[in-house]
Amino acid sequence: MQDSLNQTGWQKTFPSAEDGWRAAYRFRPYLANAPEYELQDRLTYILRNLLTITPEGKISLSKDEHGRKYWLQKLTHLNLELWRRNKPPINPTNFPDMIPFGEKELVLSKTNSEFIKYTKIRPVFARYDDAPYAQRLKQQGELRIKPASAFSDVTLDHARHDNELSLEVITAPCDYDLGLVGSDTRLRFPERQWLRYSCKKPSDFYIYCLTTSFDFRYFEDFSMRPPVTPACVLIRDQKKFEHLIIAAAQRELPDWKIKFGPARYIEPYSLGERISWAGEDIYFFKHHRYMYQREYRLICIPPSPVFDTLQPKILTLGSLEDITELLTPKVSPTA
């Protein structure tokens, strides 16, 4: 694993860009006063986003240039904060145990090399699920939309366990000095401090999630527990699927607002007062720790706020045989 990392050109960053990242952090050292567990958690999800598994089954930097620069910037900021605390910097090349993947994921990609061609298909939607649900989606266009509140279930895997009804906001001490703390927050928390708090979304709502790429890692992220076999439904015609799922949602929920679009990944240290003017876009806001998932989502917003009363619903789109492929890996990632 370490050899594959050494071949990725980890050191070939962008010096001028890195200088800018360092200057930005010195101006706003937002991680100052953050507890140690916060830095450790941040490191874990930085690596989960910055690194990926190549189609050849190697660990590599993400090929997404925009995402790679974004997370290299976050890692640079974290390393500066570690330096301020007299701690060594983080470089995954030297600390392979920190990499959030294991041999299980690497074996999966190598064993299913015939799937490599799907990693290059764009545009596409992909839905990862256990095989019976995936088969019903392909054959009957049957899918289940869930209340957003259901995703706070602690029994879910790390890729799906998320409190969709609230957003994490973090305010740093320096934000008070820089005028980045809004009046409402200052009234609630007048003391200059490192502060984590939650902002609730206006209502519970229905959600259905897809991703916009095929990635071997998603089999592990979204797999069910044994003995269920994980699978992926690859949807080639995005426009047709979008039309079908919106129409099905409107039939089932005629008085609700139906929206379909990409998740908007938010840095909790930069969220702050943006919540007050987000409007209905807030239902697309998601913690940036999940950015690597490239999520697209169906959102169904009730005509008036509801909480704790929604139950899952089945939508039927009709057969999707003509626009989908069903992919089932030979080796279960949970084996």
- Residue 199 burial (CB < 10 Å; 0-12/13-18/19+)? middle
Distance CA 41, CA 44 (A): 5
- The string of DSSP letters for 280-311 reads GGGGGEEEGGGGGG-EEEEEEE-SS---S---
The predicted structure's pLDDT at residue 29 = 97
Q: Please give the structure tokens belonging to residue 146.
A: 């869930």
Look at the block and give the residue holding tokens 């039939």.
251
φ and ψ of 196, to 5 deg: -115, 130
Q: For residue 83, which phi and psi values (nearest 5 degrees)?
A: -60, -40
Give the whole-angstrom CA distance, residue 230 versus residue 330.
10
Of 174, 181, 191, 176, the residue nearest 27 (C-alpha): 174
| Residue ranges per structural domain of the chain | 2-101, 113-165+202-327
162: Cβ contacts below 8 Å, ≥ 6 apart: 151, 152, 286, 287, 290
Per-residue pLDDT, 6: 44
Q: What is the pLDDT of residue 8?
A: 45
Give me the amino acid identity at 330.
Answer: K
Asked if residue 262 has a cis previous peptide bond (ω within 30° of 0), the answer is: no
Q: Which amino acid is located at 305 in the chain?
A: P
10-residue mean pLDDT profile of the chain (335 residues): values are: 44 69 96 95 92 79 88 95 92 66 76 87 92 95 96 55 84 93 87 91 96 89 70 96 98 97 94 74 94 96 92 97 94 51
pLDDT at 4: 43
Tokens 């910097």 locate to 89
